[in-house]
Amino acid sequence: MDARVRTSLLYDFYGPLLTERQQRFIELYFGEDLSLGEIAAEFQISRQAVHDILHRSEAALEALEAKLGLLRQYQRQKRRYARLRALLEELRERGLTPPQEALVQEMTALLEAMGREVD
């Protein structure tokens, strides 16, 4: 996974646990795609200071993930969800009796509801 995407996902899970300043810098750099220089100019600090804050913020996000594993768990759940959808589709393609089709439809509806919760 791309490092920027990973950091953005980690921020989605753990962002509120960062300081307000760290949150703002992450949002500007990763969310609004501002450069280090642009952020530095906005806050009247050096590019190095911006880099250091971002680096510490990313380290904090990674430390939280190492302890809590929410991103890892989310990714595992998404893979399982996709596999279940594929298996249900495979069952449908084999041809089912009406009672089996009703069961597959109910499972599909439950999976769809879960998918909305996962996304």
pLDDT digits (tens, 9 = 90+) for 47-66: 999 999 999 999 999 999 99
Flag whether the pTM goes above 0.85. Answer: no
pLDDT at 117: 64
pLDDT of residue 72: 96
Average pLDDT across the chain, whole number: 92
> Domain 3-68 carries which CATH code?
1.10.10.10
Q: Residue for token digits 């509806």? A: 109
Token readout for 89 is 């589709």
**How many Å apart are CA 94 and CA 110, to the nearest integer?**
21
